[in-house]
Amino acid sequence: MGCVPSRDEASHEVRPDHGAPPDGSSDDGKDRPRMNRADTTHYTRVHEAAMAEIFRSGNGVVGLRNLGNTCFMNACLQSLCHAVGLADYFLGYEWHAEINASNPIGFGGELAKAFGELMEAMWSQSARTSIVPVEFKAAMSRCAPMFAGHEQHDAHELLTFLLDALHEDLNRCESKPYVEAVECDGTDQDECAAEAWAGYLKRDRSIIVDLFQGQLRSSVGCARCGHKCVKFDPFQYLSVPVVKSGVDIEQCIEDFSAEERLDGDNAWSCAACRQRVRASKRLELWKLPPLLVIHLKRFDFDTRGRAAKVETYVDFPLVDLDLSAYCQSPQRDIPLYDCFAVINHHGHAGGGHYTAFARNRVDNAWYHYNDANVTRVQDIDEVKTSDAYVLLYSRVVFDQTSSSGRSFSRLRPQRSQSGDSPGIIVRRQSISLPHLWPHFRGEPDRDHANISLKSLVNNKETTINKPKKRKVKTYRSLSNGKLRYDRTPSTEKKKKKMKKRAL
């Protein structure tokens, strides 16, 4: 076992020990280059340990046997297997120590254990063979009976469930306190967004949050008085509409953020007008995660509940997806993404078959995963088809090469026996270390615990747990026995009376 990490009593967050040695022991007696829980908050050494394990034991090119209509499951597993940050965590980190067995909405770590064991098996295959994911299928069936049996299911639905389940099984929060919703009227949005993220981290912190979760801005404006309500919510994937022919992924994201009219039965309750009114609503990108999942909404349902598949071809770049034009706030990392996996749906809405394309981190080549059959893609254009259903992107890593901070060079994963592939930048989210949040701008302060919300966004002095100004409420008894609310504190009332008497 690795060394025991120290804990911050206020936040229950692991404090990093940058001098901690790798943990070389394991239950089976084999030396494994795993890092303990006291490792760096950026998972840098975790990535190095995972790369050493991969180059030592296998290349990840392995098929998964179909257990009876489990192609939807296999396609999702292949995609997540090639997510660099997630694979690093399960291959080079003591993730067993982060299992939250007491989480009432988790699964006691059962699904995380099954997924971790499958991840190791998939990366330990040195030859292009296939394995049977029967243990994972059994664990998933116990945790989610809806996926039991041999019926076909939606791959995106399974992917969503799996990421949620892994998050709860590995949630670093030992309790889920009540957190009030944070909103603003459109002013001080940066501080409001950071405060909302801090509230979210009080209940949810895991490798899934570190990797897959970003933040959306939701704004609703009254058409009558102009009052606006702005909220900031976490997101784990983007479900974008496919409404036109011959579109690209940028157009789909733009349509995702299109303004929506609220009227009639969907009228908005305006706090200023104090009645239901016509309003406009918009969802926009605020902070982007290291790994971005984009779900193409290819299935429409009519009034009778009958499904129809949208066969429109959506063009998407395999490298250099630039989302800077769609972000409504500055990003601490350049929002440039490379595609590393694609989940495909072949056939019609009532059935069909799922496969996956994935880019291998060892040889940087694309492979097609069709259950147990694995073939190398000869023409890279084969990856982009009208069957693309879920796109998985990783943020590009840049190396600052100029002292002025204006010149950057791109780091791409390349085959290296020394394991020096750059991977991706992953920051371990913590309440007590806000300099690791996506909202931080500027150089981190050495005294991390004193970094304030405002200093994250505009370098102004304040405190993280800034007390809100509250009106003092007093009540006066009336002759009819009812209570009347008095907005003015009783001490102020007495002062006013004394002034009147003095006059």
Q: Are residues 423 and 491 in the same domain?
A: no
Cα(363)–Cα(369) distance, integer angstroms? 16
Name the helix (H) or strand (E) containing 277.
strand 275-277
Torsion of CA 65, 143, 171, 235, to 10 degrees: 80
Same domain, 476 and 447: no
Q: Are residues 323 and 422 in the same domain?
A: yes
Beta strand segments in 288-331, E: 291-297, 299-301, 307-309, 314-315, 321-322
Query: Residue 372, exposed/middle/buried by CB under 10 A (0-12, 13-18, 19+)?
Result: middle
The pLDDT, as a whole number, for residue 324 is: 95
Report the CATH number that the domain containing residue 12 is assigned in CATH: 3.90.70.10
- Catalytic, 353? Answer yes
Q: pLDDT tens digits, residue range 124-150?
A: 866 568 999 999 999 999 999 999 988
Angstrom CA distances, 389 to 16, 35, 255, 291, 458, stand at 39, 35, 17, 17, 40
| Residue of 12, 42, 346, 353 marked active site | 353
Question: Which residue is catalytic, options 47, 71, 229, 435?
Answer: 71
Per the domain annotation, does 463 fall within a domain?
no
The answer on 493 and 375 residing in a single domain is: no
Decide if 346 is catalytic: no
Select from 42, 8, 5 the least CA-distant residue to 23.
Answer: 5
Full domain range(s) for residue 389: 7-457
The total of other beta-carbon atoms located within 10 Å of residue 258's CB is 11
Coil/strand/helix, residue 416: coil
Contact 445, 451 (CB under 8 A): yes
Among 183, 276, 186, CA closest to 223:
276
Q: Which of 243, 265, 260, 261 is nearest to 252 (CA)?
A: 243
Q: Are 357 and 368 in contact (CB under 8 A)?
A: yes
Q: Do 354 and 226 share a structural domain?
A: yes
Residues of the chain with pLDDT under 70: 1-42, 44, 125-128, 399-423, 441-503
Task: Please provide the DSSP assignment of 421-490 as one string.
Answer: ----------SS-GGGSTT--SSPPSSGGG--HHHHHT-----TTPPPP-PPPEEEE-TTS-EEEESS-H
Q: 171 and 117 in one domain? A: yes
User: Based on the domain organization, do 421 and 501 belong to the same domain?
Assistant: no
Q: What are phi and psi of 130, to 5 degrees?
A: -130, 155
Asked whether residue 464 is assigned to any structural domain, the reply reads no
Confidence (pLDDT) at 221 = 96
Residue 196 in domain? yes
Residue 451 lies in a domain: yes
**Percentage of the chain surpassing pLDDT 70?**
73
The pLDDT, as a whole number, for residue 461 is 34
Do 294 and 346 fall into the same domain?
Answer: yes
Residues 371 and 259 in one domain: yes
- The number of domains in the chain is 2
Supply the pLDDT for residue 48.
76
Place of tokens 């795993």: 34
Same domain for 380 and 503?
A: no
In a domain, 1, yes or no: no
- pLDDT, tens digit, 9 for 90 and up, residues 274-333: 999 999 999 999 999 999 999 999 998 877 878 899 999 999 999 999 999 999 999 989
Q: Give residue 401's pLDDT.
A: 45
Pairing of strands 353-359, 336-346: antiparallel
Instruction: Clarify whether residues 211 and 336 are in a common domain.
Output: yes
In a domain, 380, yes or no: yes
Q: What is the pLDDT of residue 302?
A: 78
Residue 462 counted as domain residue: no
Token pair for residue 367? 């492979």
CB atoms within 10 A of CB 367: 22
Same domain for 388 and 476, yes or no, is no
Residue 26 token pair:
């394991």
Residue 378's Cβ-count burial label (10 Å; 0-12, 13-18, 19+) is exposed
